[in-house]
């Protein structure tokens, strides 16, 4: 497999007053084109810090991160922002949708920065929202949708322009077990269909089982890299009736 991301001797030290906290301590890792890789660890293990380093959201104290031949640790803020816009999608635990915008506008928003005209970006947003099972929720705002539906909007936003890399940060953290399975099958299926590299960050061993490889992190170090037979079952889309029934039965619960 072709190596897409090369991480070498990566170290991150945070200063808290007079103390130094070592969040990452000598990470070496290759991530391949088209693979689903999971960074697994408990809270405080360093997995989210590693995601932030790879995504260019923070700078390492030491070491290098090379993505498709580009050393992102050497890019300035404007350059790394442009790199993310062109190459990266994010799925977040908390969805991170703009409350005042409907589903189509939430998905289309990021396409503005890519120079795509309004008609085309609206059409792209509508199509992918239909692909994730939200054909009748296009004009709904986040507060008019269940948690599961909001996460589908987040997924559509991440995948709308088929980025090279998708980061999924605790993508099922706010979801019930049934919806978690549906969401994981959906995002892994979409990544596999387009040969995209997906990096999942989670503390949940069940979520980790959807990955091709599991990288376990503890105290800022990789303690094990395990090849894994994914439990991915293919894409699964709820029809709208089932989604509406789920909402009625779980009005007081985030799905």
Indicate left, alpha or beta for 115 from its phi (over 0: left) and psi (-120 to 50: alpha). left
Q: What is the DSSP letter of 145?
A: S
Q: Is residue 246 scored above 80 in pLDDT?
A: no
Q: Is the pLDDT of residue 251 over 60?
A: no
Q: Percent of the chain beyond pLDDT 90?
A: 80
* Residue 156 pLDDT greater than 90, yes or no: yes
Res 67: pLDDT: 96
Kindly report the pTM of this predicted structure. 0.87
Give the mean pLDDT of the chain. Answer: 89
pLDDT over 60 at 4, yes or no? yes
Return the pLDDT at 253.
Answer: 34
User: What is the pLDDT averaged over residues 38-56?
Assistant: 95
Sequential DSSP letters for the chain: --EEEEEEEEEEEEEETTEEEEEEEEEEEEEETT-EEEEE--TTSSHHHHHHHHTTSS--SEEEEEETTEEGGGS-HHHHHHHHHHHEEEEETT----TTS-HHHHHHHHHHTTT--HHHHHHHHHHHHHHTT-TT-TT--GGGS-HHHHHHHHHHHHHTT--SEEEEESTTTTS-HHHHHHHHHHHHHHHHHTT-EEEEEES-HHHHTTSSEEEEEETTEEEEEEE------------HHHHHHHHHHTTTS--
- The predicted pLDDT at position 254 comes to 34
Checking if the pLDDT of 30 tops 90, the result is: yes
Q: Which of 201, 130, 134 is nearest to 165 (CA)?
A: 201
| pLDDT value, residue 237 | 42
162-197 pLDDT, tens digit per residue, is: 999 999 999 988 888 999 999 999 999 999 999 999
Residue 235: predicted pLDDT:
47
- pLDDT value, residue 248: 38
Asked whether residue 72 carries a pLDDT value surpassing 60, the answer given is yes
Q: Which residue has the tokens 């260019």?
A: 56
Using DSSP, state whether 245 is helix, strand or coil.
Answer: helix
Q: Considering the chain, what percentage of its residues have pLDDT values greater than 70?
A: 92
What pLDDT digit, counting tens, does each position of 198-211 carry?
999 999 999 999 99
pLDDT in tens, 75-131: 999 999 999 988 999 998 888 999 999 999 999 998 988 888 999 999 999 999 999
Lowest mean pLDDT among 11-15, 48-52, 180-184, 247-251: 247-251
């Amino acid at each position: 497999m072709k190596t897409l991301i090369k991480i070498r001797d990566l170290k991150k030290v945070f200063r808290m007053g007079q103390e130094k906290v070592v969040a990452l301590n000598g990470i070496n890792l290759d991530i391949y084109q088209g693979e689903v890789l999971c960074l697994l660890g408990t809270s405080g293990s360093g997995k989210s810090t590693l995601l932030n380093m790879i995504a260019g959201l923070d700078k390492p104290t030491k070491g290098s991160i090379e993505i498709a031949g580009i050393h992102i640790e050497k890019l300035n803020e404007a350059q790394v922002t442009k790199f993310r816009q062109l190459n990266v999608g994010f799925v977040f635990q908390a969805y991170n949708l703009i409350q005042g915008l409907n589903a189509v506008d939430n998905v289309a928003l990021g396409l503005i920065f890519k120079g795509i005209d309004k008609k085309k970006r609206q059409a792209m947003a509508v199509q992918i929202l239909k692909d994730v099972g939200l054909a009748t929720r296009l004009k709904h705002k986040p507060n008019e949708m269940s948690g599961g539906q909001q996460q589908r909007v987040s997924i559509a936003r991440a995948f709308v322009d088929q980025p090279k890399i998708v980061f999924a940060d605790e993508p099922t953290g706010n979801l019930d077990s049934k919806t978690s399975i549906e969401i994981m099958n959906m995002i892994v299926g979409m990544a596999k269909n387009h040969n995209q590299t997906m990096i999942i960050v989670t503390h949940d061993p069940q979520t980790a089982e959807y990955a091709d490889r599991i990288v376990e992190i503890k105290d800022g170090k990789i303690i094990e890299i395990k090849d894994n037979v994914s439990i991915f079952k293919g894409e699964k889309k709820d029809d709208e009736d089932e989604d509406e029934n789920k909402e009625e039965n779980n009005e007081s619960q985030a799905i």
